[in-house]
């Protein structure tokens, strides 16, 4: 009896890693020129970004075609799942670093500086502070306005993407499409409200450690929401093209995992940045 051999698909040599490396080199070079206030800097950055987008479309397009040809099953599918798990874990550690910086500044550094009388006279070490030497008053961001609305929006988007996943398992194309479209719309509304919040804020990223930690945490989260919305849009296009089945839809699952991760990070942001 012939023994069954499990094979692992190895793609042919690809030019995309080289294209991506060139794109990042040009993008970084443009950023350096921008920091040096060279007029050509933004144009070099735009060129690098355009090449990077071209690389992403080409490389991911190849992977999609390989998947549709049935080449990415078995061990390859398991590798993709573990790869997505480790990618999300790396994102967890990324945000853990920022939350750690917030905790240190809020609960250790600022009270210590106040006790050491390194801040302005009469300061009691309470959070928020605009930082040493910055005495102008500012209003911190409240929790029960736009942030609370955005929390409801993201929680709702987590429900809609889960509803779409249920539709995928049932083979209901209409439910999948509607769930994904609703999720994308909710994500865009979230971003629009966050942009409005930034425009109306009474402080900037230069307003001491409070402004720095606020904009770094919420800004990077907004970047992740933007990336998630783009990924959801691609997945929606693939759903309309009929690429997924109830048995094989890891591309959809990976994006839904990422979106739920974005939801959880926002809940932590709402609690520790806005509320407490």
Q: Tokens representing 126? A: 């309470």
Of 181 and 202, the one with more pLDDT:
181
- pLDDT (tens digit, 9 = 90+) per residue, 14-69? 888 999 999 999 999 998 998 888 889 899 999 999 998 898 888 888 877 877 77
Around Cβ 260, how many Cβ atoms within 10 Å?
16
Give the domain range for residue 157: 73-275
Statement to judge: residues 15 and 147 lie in one domain: no
Last residue of a domain, one of 54, 72, 90: 72
Considering the chain, what is the average pLDDT of its residues?
Answer: 81
Q: Residue 128: which CATH number? A: 1.20.120.80
- 40 and 142 both lie in a single domain: no
Q: Residue 43 sits in a domain of what CATH number?
A: 1.10.287.70
Q: 124 and 251 share a domain?
A: yes
For range 177-202, the mean pLDDT: 87
Inform me whether the pLDDT recorded for 169 exceeds 50.
yes
Count of domains for the chain: 2
Per-residue pLDDT, 127: 67
Query: Do residues 53 and 179 share a domain?
Result: no
Q: Answer yes or no: do 129 and 12 share one domain.
A: no
Residues 206-241: pLDDT tens digits?
777 777 888 888 888 888 898 888 888 888 888 887
Q: Do 124 and 20 share a structural domain? A: no
**Tokens encoding 182:** 């609703």
Q: What is the pLDDT of residues 96-140, one digit of tens each?
A: 998 998 888 777 777 776 666 655 555 556 667 655 544 455 566
DSSP letters, 137-154, are: --PPPPSTTHHHHHHHHH
7 phi-psi bin (left φ>0, alpha ψ -120 to 50, beta other): beta
Give mean pLDDT, residues 161-184: 84
Tell whether the model's pLDDT for residue 251 goes beyond 60: yes
Q: For residues 42 and 104, state if they share a domain.
A: no
Q: Looking at the structure, do residues 132 and 198 belong to the same domain, yes or no?
A: yes
Same domain, 98 and 217: yes
Q: Check whether residue 90 and residue 57 sit in a common domain.
A: no
Q: Which of 41, 72, 103 finishes a domain?
A: 72
Choose the final residue of a domain: 72, 97, 123.
72
Query: What is the average pLDDT across 151-177?
Result: 85
Does residue 85 share a domain with residue 65?
no
Which comes out higher in pLDDT, residue 251 or 181? 181
For 140-157, what is the mean pLDDT? 83
Same-domain check for residues 208 and 145: yes
9 vs 267 pLDDT, higher one: 267
Neighbours of 205 (CB within 10 A): 14
Higher pLDDT, 89 or 72: 89
Please give the full DSSP string across 164-177, using - where no structure is assigned. HHHHHHHT-HHHHH
């Amino acid at each position: 009896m012939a023994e069954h051999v499990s094979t692992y698909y190895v793609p042919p040599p690809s030019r995309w890693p080289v294209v991506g490396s060139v794109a990042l080199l040009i993008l970084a070079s443009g950023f350096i020129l921008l920091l040096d206030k060279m007029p050509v800097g933004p144009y070099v950055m735009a060129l690098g970004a355009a090449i990077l987008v071209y690389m992403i479309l080409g490389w991911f397009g190849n992977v999609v075609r390989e998947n549709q040809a049935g080449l990415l099953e078995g061990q390859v599918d398991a590798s993709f799942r573990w790869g997505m798990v480790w990618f999300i874990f790396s994102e967890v550690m990324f945000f853990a670093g920022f939350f750690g910086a917030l905790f240190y500044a809020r609960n250790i550094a600022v009270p210590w500086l106040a006790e050491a009388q390194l801040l302005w006279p009469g300061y009691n070490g309470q959070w928020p502070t605009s930082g040493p030497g910055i005495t102008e008053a500012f209003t911190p961001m409240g929790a029960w306005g736009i942030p609370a609305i955005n929390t409801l929006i993201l929680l709702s988007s987590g429900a809609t993407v889960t509803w779409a996943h249920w539709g995928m398992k049932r083979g209901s194309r209409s439910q999948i499409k509607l769930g994904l479209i609703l999720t994308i719309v909710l994500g865009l509304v979230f971003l629009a409200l966050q942009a409005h919040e930034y425009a109306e804020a009474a402080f900037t990223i230069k307003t001491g450690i409070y402004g720095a930690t606020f904009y770094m945490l919420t800004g990077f989260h907004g970047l992740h929401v933007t990336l998630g919305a783009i990924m959801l849009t691609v997945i929606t296009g693939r759903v309309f093209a009929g690429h997924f089945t109830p048995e094989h839809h890891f591309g959809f699952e990976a994006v839904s995992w990422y979106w739920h991760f974005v939801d959880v990070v926002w809940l932590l942001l709402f609690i520790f940045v806005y509320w407490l």
